[in-house]
């Protein structure tokens, strides 16, 4: 809760019980099979038990959940369970009562713990506990939280600190998933990865012998936009297709204006069609105007786990005529999800873009080279291939009509991929001496550049438009001083298990580390030269290994 609180929405602006149920019926009819009441705090709504009971009557709705601060949970849970509630998420960021009061601006820690134990007593398994981890506030409690799963059927979910209005987000406060995982493995090296459910937002782990499990929500360091099937409706009736997007569409206003079911479906379909391929990077999100989590109410999940849509920014949302020509309205929204699969272009967007205007979009190109992720390596002159396959003589990211095309790697087997790239920064004698002696006013240039290189490797798919997102298992950035040339030699290596190579990650890492060195030293000298950014080697993939000679 922000220190200054949040402005209360006038009651007249909130969705009524009937409006909530009307929208719920519409979404369930179109394929939504899970609804979660979130917040703010849903359990302060006097009609919450009645809402759950009426949702329970909807045919096709398989899961009704609630995300709560837990303070009223023990009192209301028996009624909610009887009404049909079958999933619980409880927000708890600390196990220290005094710290709890500081975070939530009120007392109530013991009521939350009572609610957790009441949920276990009533047979909920697992009881999900959500913890937002913040450096300097609660990262020292990770092991204490995980220890609870030894004897209790909890799914302890650690969430990376995310930017929202009012939370004064700062990158330095964010503890990444990998850092948290390393901390847990130092204590429990036997920690094992569990299979991921389709469209799951969490990476789950379990300690052998423990009743519960541990999960990580990696929204910042490893986004899951490509498999996200979530929609959100705010307490005042606005549809959000992305938690991190500031674009909202008022369904409440259309409902109150007497919109028909078909009109509502067109509005929803247009909003879903504008869903971007992935959310902005963490630093861009932190600068965006976006309502805080405490002002979001209804959370919907579509069945069949459809992935996120490509960005079709040229599509006019008010002119979506494609829906009008369908023989029936039924399942329009779920059809839109299922047909607009990455890397294909959304069919409705194709209809709306003028045939005479240039189109920027993603499309599948099954005949293209499946190993390099941007350009063919043909231009790499002084190189040798240890594999048997020749390099491609075609650009891999252009289709037969000359349009940008993303390589389809869906049918390719997962193999271990390793790539090494290098770069050089010629600093000159003055800047070199300051770096060597760590005397720069900005700080330790080598350490900052190393961290920047690691971060860049993980964000490559957000920087290079047609690169696939790769879950890297290892990144290493080394910087060595060359006193004969007053230079810093950078070497970046990346490793992953997957269907596509990691050379772009290694090259991006080396390049960004070099750029960071320039930024750290530019006040001393503008004669710095960046160069020799190149791929040293790559292994794995159908085209064999590559080693620069």
Say yes or no to pLDDT of 310 above 50.
no
CB 80 within 8 A of CB 48: yes
Confidence at 461, pLDDT banded by 50, 70, 90: confident
Sheet with strand 192-193: strands edge to edge: 192-193, 202-206, 213-217, 154-160, 127-133, 87-91, 63-68, 32-37, 296-302, 230-234, 238-240, 249-250
H or E stretch covering 503: helix 503-521
CA atoms within 13 A on the CB side of 371: 22
Q: What is the pLDDT of residue 288?
A: 46
Cα dist from 60 to 28, 37, 211, 303, 354, whole Å: 7, 17, 31, 10, 39
Q: What is the pLDDT of residue 409?
A: 67
Q: What is the pLDDT of residue 331?
A: 47
CB 298 within 8 A of CB 232: yes
Greater pLDDT, 421 or 376: 421
Q: What is the mean pLDDT of residues 251-260?
A: 92
Q: What is the pLDDT of residue 285?
A: 39
Encoded tokens for 180: 């948290």
Confidence at 346, pLDDT banded by 50, 70, 90: very low
Say yes or no to pLDDT of 6 above 70.
no
Q: What is the pLDDT of residue 277?
A: 56
Q: CB count, 10 Å around CB of 472?
A: 22
Q: What is the pLDDT of residue 284?
A: 45
The β-bridge partners of 206 are 192
CB 353 within 8 A of CB 314: yes
Question: Model confidence over 359-411: pLDDT tens digits?
Answer: 322 222 333 333 333 333 333 334 444 444 445 556 666 555 556 666 776 66
Indicate the SS3 state at residue 478: strand
**Beta-strand pair 529-539/472-482:** unpaired
Only one residue has tokens 């957000």, namely 462
Q: What is the pLDDT of residue 407?
A: 72
| Global confidence as pTM | 0.54
Count of residues in the chain: 549
Sheet with strand 383-385: strands edge to edge: 383-385, 546-548, 529-539, 415-426, 487-498, 472-482
Say yes or no to pLDDT of 320 above 70.
no
Contacts by 281-288 with C-beta closer than 8 Å and gap 24+? 281/459, 281/462, 282/162, 282/163, 282/171, 282/174, 282/220, 283/171, 285/162, 285/163, 285/244, 286/163, 286/169, 286/171, 288/163, 288/244, 288/246
Q: What is the mean pLDDT of residues 259-263?
A: 90
Q: How far apart are the first and last CA of the chain?
A: 58
CB 289 within 8 A of CB 244: no
Cα–Cα distance for residue pair 138/94, rounded to 1 Å: 6
Cα–Cα distance for residue pair 40/22, rounded to 1 Å: 21
Per DSSP, 227 falls in state: G
Per DSSP, 1 falls in state: -
The closest alpha carbon to 514, from 484, 534, 544, belongs to 534
Please identify which of the residues 50, 165, 444, 519 carries the catalytic annotation. 519
| Sequential DSSP letters for 126-174 | SEEEEEEEBTTTTGGGHHHHHHGGGTS-EEEEEEE----TTS---GGGB
527 is catalytic: no
Q: What is the pLDDT of residue 521?
A: 92
Question: Model confidence over 159-178: pLDDT tens digits?
Answer: 987 654 444 545 677 888 89
Q: What is the pLDDT of residue 249?
A: 86
Question: Model confidence over 49-69: pLDDT tens digits?
Answer: 999 999 999 999 999 999 999
Question: Model confidence over 93-137: pLDDT tens digits?
Answer: 999 999 999 888 889 999 999 999 999 999 999 999 999 998 888
Per DSSP, 77 falls in state: H
């Amino acid at each position: 809760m922000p220190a200054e609180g949040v402005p209360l929405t006038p009651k007249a602006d909130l969705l009524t019980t009937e409006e909530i149920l009307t929208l719920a019926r519409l979404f369930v009819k179109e394929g939504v099979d899970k609804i979660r009441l979130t917040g703010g705090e849903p359990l302060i709504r006097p009609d919450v038990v009645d809402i759950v009971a009426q949702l329970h009557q909807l045919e096709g709705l398989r899961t009704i959940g609630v995300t709560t601060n837990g303070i009223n949970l023990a009192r209301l849970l028996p009624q909610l369970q009887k009404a049909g509630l079958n999933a619980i998420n409880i927000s708890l960021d600390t196990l220290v009562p005094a710290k709890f009061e500081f975070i939530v601006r009120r007392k109530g820690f013991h009521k939350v713990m009572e609610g957790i134990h009441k949920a276990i007593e009533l047979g909920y398994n697992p009881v999900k506990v959500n913890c937002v981890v913040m450096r300097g506030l609660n990262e020292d409690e990770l092991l204490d939280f995980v220890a609870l799963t030894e004897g209790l059927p909890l799914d302890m979910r650690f969430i990376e600190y995310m930017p929202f209005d009012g939370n004064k987000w700062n990158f330095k406060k964010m503890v990444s998933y990998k850092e948290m995982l390393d901390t847990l493995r130092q204590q429990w090296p036997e920690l094992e990865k569990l299979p991921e459910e389709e469209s799951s937002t969490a990476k789950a782990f379990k300690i052998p012998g423990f009743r519960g499990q541990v999960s990580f929500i990696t929204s910042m360091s490893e986004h899951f936009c490509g498999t996200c099937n979530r929609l959100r409706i705010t307490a005042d009736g606005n549809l959000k297709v992305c938690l991190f997007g500031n674009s909202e569409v008022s369904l409440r206003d259309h409902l109150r204006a007497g919109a028909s079911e078909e009109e509502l479906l067109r509005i929803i379909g247009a909003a879903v069609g504008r869903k971007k391929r992935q959310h902005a990077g963490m630093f861009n999100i932190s600068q965006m105007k976006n309502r805080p989590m405490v002002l979001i109410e209804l959370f919907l999940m579509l069945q069949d786990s459809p992935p996120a849509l490509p960005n079709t920014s040229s599509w006019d949302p008010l002119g979506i005529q494609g829906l009008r020509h369908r023989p029936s309205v039924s399942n329009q929204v779920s059809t839109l999800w299922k047909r607009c699969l990455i890397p294909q272009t959304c069919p409705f967007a194709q209809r709306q873009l003028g045939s005479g205007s240039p189109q920027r979009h993603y499309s599948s190109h099954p005949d293209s080279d499946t190993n390099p992720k941007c350009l063919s390596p043909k231009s790499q002159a002084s190189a040798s291939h240890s594999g048997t396959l020749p390099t491609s003589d075609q650009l891999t990211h252009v289709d037969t009509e000359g349009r940008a095309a993303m390589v389809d790697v869906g049918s390719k087997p997962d193999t271990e991929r390793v790539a090494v790239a290098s770069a050089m920064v010629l600093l000159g004698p003055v800047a070199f001496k300051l770096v060597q002696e760590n005397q720069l006013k900005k700080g330790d240039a080598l350490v900052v550049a190393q961290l920047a290189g690691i971060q860049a490797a993980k964000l490559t798919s957000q920087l290079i438009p047609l690169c696939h997102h790769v879950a890297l298992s290892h990144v290493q950035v080394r910087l060595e001083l060359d006193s004969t040339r007053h230079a810093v030699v950078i070497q970046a290596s990346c490793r992953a298990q997957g269907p596509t190579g990691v050379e772009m990650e290694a090259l991006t890492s080396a390049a960004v580390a070099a750029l960071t060195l320039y930024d750290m030293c530019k006040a001393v000298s503008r004669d710095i030269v960046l160069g020799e950014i190149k791929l040293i080697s790559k292994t794995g993939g159908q085209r064999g290994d590559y080693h620069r000679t």
